[in-house]
Amino acid sequence: MTITNDLEVEESRSVSPSDRQTLASGAGFTVLLYFGCFFGAVTLSAALVQATGGSATEVFGALLDGSVRARGRWGQTLGISVPLILVGLGTVFSGRAGLINIGQEGQLYFGSAVACYAALRLGDSAGWTEVFPGPLVLIFCLVAGALGGAFWAGIAGALRYWRRVPEVLTTLLLVTVAAQVVGYGLRKDWLLAVPRDGSKAAWRNISTAQLPPDQRMPRIEVFGNSFPISVVIVLAITAVVTVVLTRSVWGFRLRMLGLNSRTAHRAGVAESRYGMVAIFISGGFAGLAGAMMLTGGDFGNYHLTPGFSVNIGFDGLLVALVARQMPIVVVPTALVFAGLRTGSGFLAATGVEREITKIVQAMLVLALLIPPAILFVRDRRRAMTATKSRT
Amino acid sequence: MGSFFTAMGDVLSNEVTFAGAVRFAALLAFCACGETIAERAGTLNISVEGMILGGAFAGACGYHVTGSVSIGLVCASASGFLIALIHANLSHRLAANTFVVGLALNILVLGMSAFLANYVKPSTRAAHKFGIPVLDDIPLVGQAFFYQPWPLYLIYPLIPFSWWLLYRTRWGLEIRAVGENPQSADVSGIDVNKRRRQGVYLSGLTSGLGGGYLILGQIGRFDDAMVGGQGFIAIAAVIFGGWTFRGAIAGCLLFGAVNSFRLSLPALGHEANPEFLSALPFLVTILTMMLFAHRTRQPTALAQPFIRGLK
Amino acid sequence: MSLTAGTAESAVPAVEFRGVNKRFGAIVACDDVDLVLHRGRIHGILGENGAGKSTLMKVLIGLVPRDSGTLFVDGIPVVISDPLDAARYGIGMVHQHFSLVEPLTVWENVMLGDEGRFDPLEIRRRIGEISERYGLGIESEAVVADLPVGLRQRVEIIKCLRRDPDIIIFDEPTSVLTPAESEQLFDVLRQAVQEENRAVALVSHKLNEVLGATDEITIMRSGRVVDRVETREADAPGLARSMVGREVSLRSSGAALGLVVKLIDKTGVEDAAVSEYEGNPVLTLTDLVVHSNDRKNALDTLSLDVHAGEIVGVAGVEGNGQEELTALMSSLVEAVSGSVSVDGRVVETGVAGSMARAGVAVVPADRHDSGVVLNLTVAENLFLVEPEKVSRRGLWDSGLMTRRASELISEFEIQAAGPDAPLWSLSGGNQQRVVLARELSNNPKVLIASQPTRGLDVGAIEYISNRLRGARRDGVGVLLISNELEEILDLADRIVVLFRGKIVGEMLRSDVDLEHLGMLMGGAIDDLVENSY
């Protein structure tokens, strides 16, 4: 079945020649609209905190402390932003092709499991760490993660293009399936589990072995903050992705597919081929994010544990949605979301539940949907009046 | 292999399995009734998951404050309606992307219910069962269908009512028209987006009610993970059923049965891979969609926003 | 509403527009319009596309609110805010692009948009009654999707008549009918008008239609009413002059004005049809079978060829496979059997871009569907089939792109804010020029033009027609698919008739027999064709 994605609304807001025109007119109104909605979301969240007995200023302060102010925290935030940026970028690919991928959480988790397997089993048993330098195994592990995520997303893609099953459902259903598959792997010695001596360990103690030091991401230390070099890698990836999506012919064809698949088909863009590539990339980025989470050390200290993905996949998806599918805006948005996450670690002292950050995130997404919707209708109305009756 | 068949036999001859199947199916059916109508009008409403959870939480609060299951159910339905209000107006008045709206609402409801649950701490318990005489003596399935907590019985009139609404009223005709060819409906004088909003409202009402049933009729205790993807399975049931009530309810029964089955198996003492069982309902859902999705005819304008004058 | 007894000259008109204005932003659609419709008469409202006549009727039917001026129904000033209001005042419209929902049945469609109790039995009874009275032959249980287009219009008519309107508006009704069916339609109109004393407005851009079916004519141009005549005193040149505002050569613009050009002597005109071609055809379709979503055999062993430097016109009423033929040549559908060859080489059907790569250019009937991408810029749309031409090593060369785009914009006289303007900001005619510019600039071997001038004003129609002739001069094989017979007769060298997915007849432009053509469009099979295909 075909579900037409109204990402057209999104697209008209992306940075491209198409938009210099619209942005120029009424730029002031646009900025006002966005700011207004942003503050609306923040205010509502603050009101919620106050209403349930907390103090909004305390919460705000705790969040700031936890994300950037306290010692060593902004390094943490950077580290957390790595997978968010990757997932966000990957989602932009699938979004441009007109696909609705909401299963990044599962793709990420599965990818991280494959990466872990590659690092622990293949590295050790094949004796590669003796023959090949550590960094090569690290790269291999990252690639494996990406392939794992791509495969997982590919299942949903195949079901969409060959069986017309809407990917919005399959990607999400596969998240639970991924959790179960990895959970199984964590229990089995021949997959991921650490060999134990007899006694059955409680679920919360299950984890894989720790990655050996040479399979970990090197870290940078700056002013008491420590973060993996994956941050730098990811920024480079962002630059490449931006160029590919906005300036390359392939990226253009992908956009065409998402905007009007029939015209695209006539112009030589085979829907299933481009769409599968887009969803592979999307899943691949999610899987890579998982691999980077594992090797970066900020999550789980180089162990893979149950629930490893800690909603990073879903958050990354939200990042892409808030960033209106623009690759460049993904980075600052991811930093904000990462800040919310690290900041929430300091919330315990204020007595306010951590879930407030989830609420803030969701409200931001909703609030930021309003300005483009209003602008879209306004612009279309303007154009219609200009072209009415003159052919 | 022999043990496989004995396991099957055990499960299928056990009344508890059937009772469980009906209980799970009921939640899906509450959602499917409203969602079928919403989708026939053209909206693929993925916030069903949030509507169930919101309904469950509101139902819990309602019961906590008043001690009455009925009031709890009313609160549940109202909360679903509230979520629908936001969704419908963002999608069909402001033309925002309906998938993004649905997704954000799911997360918002998850966050809010978890957050507020810690603050309010509602205490609830499931409604008592009560049996319908004579019918509950039917072997094997009688107990399943007719000896359940009473909120479940609400689904029995809801299904034919929904059918009547869609096929035997003018409103239902307009809903169907709006989902197939909104341009023609518009020219005929029908307010397309209004009908679509109303479709979503209905989905909110029934899914919220489903959430109320979930907490007050099935589980009895609030937990923010209690929905666990069943909203999406309900949507799959609607698609599996080709957007007809007959088909959707069949889908609900199927998925409910699988859910019950995976719990019965270990409960009856049979060994099976726990991860496989947990994943089973989702796998079956994917599998059935794979087999049936491409054969059904979807409402032509499904998931296509309508703005007058712009094709 | 009760019918007011009265003659055609009764003092109170059924409808009066007094000083009605409607603007859309800077564009004036209706400029101080005064118009009167009387009972017992068929009133033609004539004007080219964009003259404002459709907007005026939309004001009457409640789909568009007027800015100023007054509307009178039977002498009483009224406010009509939606179609239901209009229905209450006894105004009904038979739409050009139907208001039917295909998957629903006839009775469900007829009932759509009404108020009041849901009473299927009553509706079915009424449908039977109307169907019989006017000889329409429609079954109330039939599903609209199963009905051919000519019958669908009858459902529209029933839908309109069942509310017993005193005032009926027909909006461009004959575009989907064969000549014979058009005659039948006009008989229905006569009956409604004379025997039942209703007022009928016939909105059209076609001279011959208005001359043949009406009692009086109002001509509109640029939003204004420019003239009012009794039909029996009107003639084609005069009407044409009023429509377009200048002296018009019916020879060259007759088709654009909806005049059947056969009646005009074409000798001595440039670009006269050539009837002999040398060499092999540049496009050959052989025994093509294509299924569409609604129908099996939408194309039913269709065979056809086109030579270089020839315009082949595919005549036929909408719904006989034109859409599927265009879709096939756009690589959007796959043929179940049969083959397509371009310049002697077989081209795979259904494979993305294969037709385009083989040199097939397409100007589709619905450009929004498969011709353009509205949210991309003009420049992006100009190069979306062959972006390689303005790119280097996989990346856009924006300087080159802007230059080439500007060249095309001026060559094809496209009115837009610039190459970076979003396509949705262009008018329909300009969007069509963008499509044409893109397709012609790729040096195609074959050009498929499907309804290329639909909805355009005379100037744009002339432009596009000249471009098509220009393509022919350049040796392109042109396949012109059109519902408008006038257009085909004007442009084509050779005419084939498409009926139910098959070519049922063929004739050269120079020996066209209109009656025979009409019969073929309606389904009679040509014996000669039977044998040769």
Q: Hey, what CATH topology would domain C283-359+444-532 get?
A: Rossmann fold (3.40.50)
Contacts of B244 (CB under 8 A, 6+ apart): B36
- Residues A223 and A133 both lie in one domain: yes
Using a 10 angstrom Cβ sphere, with 0-12 exposed, 13-18 middle and 19 or more buried, the burial of residue C162 is middle
Q: Do B180 and C103 touch (CB under 8 A)?
A: yes
> Of A246-255, A337-346, B55-64, which range is least confident?
A337-346
Q: Do A271 and C50 touch (CB under 8 A)?
A: no
Beta bridge mates, C42: C200
Nearest to C391 among A249, A266, A380 (CB): A249
pLDDT of residue C47: 87
Q: Is residue B310 part of a domain?
A: no
pLDDT of residue C4: 42
The whole-angstrom separation of Cα C480 and Cα C315 is 9
Which chain C residues are closer than 8 Å to A269 by Cβ? 352-353
pLDDT of residue A207: 67
Residue A145 clears pLDDT 50, i.e. is over it = yes
Looking at mean pLDDT, say which of A212-216, A228-232, C194-198 comes out highest: A228-232
Contacts of A388 (CB under 8 A, 6+ apart): C24, C25, C27, C29, C55
Q: Do C370 and A266 touch (CB under 8 A)?
A: yes
Residue A13 clears pLDDT 50, i.e. is over it = no
ipTM: 0.88
pLDDT of residue C244: 81
Q: Can you list the residues of chain B whose pLDDT is less than 70?
A: 1-2, 308-311
Residue C270 clears pLDDT 90, i.e. is over it = no
The rounded mean pLDDT for chain A is 81
Q: Is residue A389 part of a domain?
A: no
- pLDDT tens-digit series, residues C499-521: 888 998 888 888 888 888 888 88
Q: Which chains are adjacent to chain A, needing at least 3 Cβ pairs under 8 Å?
A: B, C
- Residues A188 and A240 both lie in one domain: yes
Give the start-to-end residue ranges of the domains of chain C: 1-90+164-234, 102-162, 283-359+444-532, 374-443
Residue A169 clears pLDDT 70, i.e. is over it = yes
Q: Do A365 and B111 touch (CB under 8 A)?
A: no
> Hunting for tokens 């569907």 — which residue is that?
C369
Q: Which residue has the higher pLDDT, A233 or A305?
A: A233
Q: Is residue A62 part of a domain?
A: no
Q: Do C99 and B187 touch (CB under 8 A)?
A: yes
The rounded mean pLDDT for chain C is 85
Q: How many CB atoms lie within 10 A of CB C430?
A: 23
**Strand C91-94 with C167-171, pairing:** parallel
- Residues A179 and A226 both lie in one domain: yes
The whole-angstrom separation of Cα C234 and Cα C251 is 19
Q: Confidence class of residue C426 from pLDDT cuts 50, 70 and 90?
A: confident
Which chain A residues are closer than 8 Å to C424 by Cβ? 380, 383
Q: Is residue A9 part of a domain?
A: no
Contacts of C21 (CB under 8 A, 6+ apart): C28, C30, C31, C32, C33, C66, C67, C68, C69
Phi and psi of C304, rounded to 5°? -170, 145
Beta bridge mates, C200: C42, C168
- What range defines the domain where residue B117 resides? 2-295
Domain of B179: which CATH number?
1.10.3470
Q: Is residue B302 part of a domain?
A: no
| Residue B287 forms contact with A (CB below 8 Å) | no
- Residues A101 and A167 both lie in one domain: yes
- Distance of alpha carbon B172 from its chain centroid, rounded? 20
| Residue C71 forms contact with A (CB below 8 Å) | no
pLDDT of residue A391: 33
Which amino acid type is present at position B187? V
- Residues A135 and A249 both lie in one domain: yes
Domain count, chain A: 2
| C36 neighbors C15 (Cβ within 8 angstroms) | yes
**Strand C283-290 with C299-306, pairing:** antiparallel
- Residues A317 and A376 both lie in one domain: no
Closest CA relative to residue B200, chosen from B36, B30, B29, B26: B36
- Residues A331 and A376 both lie in one domain: no
Q: Is residue A8 part of a domain?
A: no
Four-point Cα dihedral B77, B82, B86, B89, nearest 10: 80
Q: Is residue B220 part of a domain?
A: yes
Q: Do B90 and A173 touch (CB under 8 A)?
A: no
Which residue of chain C comes nearest to B168, CA vs CA?
C118
Q: Do C353 and A382 touch (CB under 8 A)?
A: no
Q: Do C98 and B184 touch (CB under 8 A)?
A: yes
| Residue C82 forms contact with B (CB below 8 Å) | yes
pLDDT of residue C294: 67
| Residue C396 forms contact with A (CB below 8 Å) | yes
- What range defines the domain where residue A94 resides? 71-351
Domain count, chain B: 1
The whole-angstrom separation of Cα C154 and Cα C181 is 11
Q: Is residue B74 part of a domain?
A: yes
Using a 10 angstrom Cβ sphere, with 0-12 exposed, 13-18 middle and 19 or more buried, the burial of residue C75 is exposed
- pLDDT tens-digit series, residues A41-86: 989 988 888 888 778 888 888 888 888 888 878 888 999 999 999 9
Residue A387 clears pLDDT 70, i.e. is over it = no
> Hunting for tokens 């998951």 — which residue is that?
B49
Residue C27 clears pLDDT 80, i.e. is over it = no
CATH code for C1-90+164-234? 3.40.50.300
Contacts of B170 (CB under 8 A, 6+ apart): C111, C114, C117, C118
- Residues A104 and A248 both lie in one domain: yes
Nearest to B111 among A166, A358, A384 (CB): A358
The whole-angstrom separation of Cα C11 and Cα B307 is 42
> Of B130-144, B243-257, C226-240, C456-470, which range is least confident?
B130-144
CA angle at residue A358 from A356 to A360, to 5 degrees? 70
pLDDT of residue A196: 47
Task: Among B35, B101, B113, B115, pick the best mutation site for testing chain A contact (most A Cβ within 10 A).
Answer: B115
Nearest to B282 among A4, A176, A370 (CB): A176
- Residues A122 and A161 both lie in one domain: yes
Give residues 475 to 494 of C whose Cβ lies within 8 Å of B.
none
- pLDDT tens-digit series, residues C37-82: 988 889 999 988 878 888 898 889 888 888 888 999 988 899 988 8
Q: Is residue B303 part of a domain?
A: no
- The structure tokens listed for A288 are 């890579």
Give strand ranges (E) for C86-230. 91-94, 167-171, 199-204, 216-221, 224-230
Q: Do A18 and C353 touch (CB under 8 A)?
A: no
3-state SS assignment for residue A200: coil
Q: What percent of chain C has pLDDT over 70?
A: 90
pLDDT of residue C484: 85
Residue A57 Ramachandran class (φ > 0 left, ψ -120 to 50 alpha, else beta): alpha
pTM above 0.90, yes or no: no
Q: Which residue has the higher pLDDT, A135 or B32?
A: B32
Which amino acid type is present at position A354? R
Arithmetic mean of pLDDT, C22-29: 79
> Of A347-356, C63-72, C355-364, which range is least confident?
A347-356
Q: Which residue has the higher pLDDT, A379 or C133?
A: C133
| C171 neighbors C93 (Cβ within 8 angstroms) | yes
Four-point Cα dihedral A180, A186, A192, A197, nearest 10: -160
- pLDDT tens-digit series, residues A82-107: 999 999 999 999 999 999 999 999 99
| C47 neighbors C29 (Cβ within 8 angstroms) | no
Arithmetic mean of pLDDT, C338-349: 93
Residue C210 clears pLDDT 80, i.e. is over it = yes
Q: Do C112 and B185 touch (CB under 8 A)?
A: yes
Q: Is residue A168 part of a domain?
A: yes
